[in-house]
Amino acid sequence: MSQQPVGEKDEKSDEKSNEKEMEKQEEKSPEEKSWEEKYHRDPLGSIIWALILIWVGVVFLLTNLGLLDDLLHFTLLIPGLGILDKFIGAWPVILIGMGVLLLIEVLVRLLVPAYRRPVTGTLILAVVFIGLGLGDLVNWNLLWPLILIVLGLSFLLRGLFRPK
C-alpha cells in the first residue's frame, strides 16, 4: 500500500471540487448566469439600506440635541376645524424617511435598466413605512377605502387589457 503525503491528497480533492464547480457553471444557461451576476453586482440595495441607517442616526442625533423638536412642532389653521396643534416625534420622521428612500430605490430600479429587478415588495414596504409614519396626520377612515378602490381598479384594468 502506497502512502501519499497529506498535502497531495488535499490538492487532489481541491482540484476535484474545482472541476465539479466548473461543470455546474457550464450546465447553467446564459440567462441563469446573467441573472445571478446581475443580483451579485447590484449595489443599489446595499446603498439604500446604508442610507436608511444613516437617516436613522441623523434623526436620533437631532432628537438628542433637541433640534428635531423645534423643526417638527407646527401649528396648522384648518378651515372648519380651527387650529390644529400637532407634534411629530422622531419615529414618524424615521418611518417616513425610510419609506421615501425605498421609493427612490423603486424609481431607480424602474428607470435604470442596469438595476432592473422586481419592485413590488419594496414598493409595498415603502407605502407601509410612510403610512405608519403619517399615523394621526392622515384621515385613515377616508384613505383605506380609496386604497382598496385603486387596487381593485388596477386588477380590473390589468385583467381587461392583458395581451392574449
pLDDT of residue 131: 86
Query: What domain range includes position 107?
Result: 37-138
Structural domain contains residue 104: yes
Asked whether the whole model's pTM tops 0.85, one would answer no
pLDDT of residue 103: 95
Structural domain contains residue 50: yes
Structural domain contains residue 153: no
143 — pLDDT class (breaks 50, 70, 90): confident
Structural domain contains residue 111: yes
CA neighbor of 129 nearest in space, from 87, 93, 88, 89: 93
Structural domain contains residue 79: yes
Structural domain contains residue 15: no
Q: Taking the alpha carbons of 134, 138, 140, 146 in that order, is the dihedral positive or negative? A: negative
CA neighbor of 44 nearest in space, from 99, 143, 110: 110
Residue with the larger pLDDT of the pair 15 and 106: 106
Amino acid at 122: T
Distance CA 87, CA 75 (A): 9
35 — pLDDT class (breaks 50, 70, 90): low
CA neighbor of 119 nearest in space, from 44, 50, 60: 44
Structural domain contains residue 113: yes
Which residues neighbour 105 within 8 Å (Cβ) at sequence distance 6 or greater? Answer: 44, 45, 48, 119, 122
Structural domain contains residue 20: no
Total number of domains in the chain: 1
The fraction of the chain above a pLDDT of 70, given in percent, is 65
Write out pLDDT tens, residues 105-121.
999 999 988 888 888 88
Q: Taking the alpha carbons of 60, 61, 66, 67 in that order, is the dihedral positive or negative? A: negative
Task: Tell me the backbone φ, ψ of residue 87, rounded to 5 degrees.
Answer: -125, 130
Residue with the larger pLDDT of the pair 136 and 27: 136
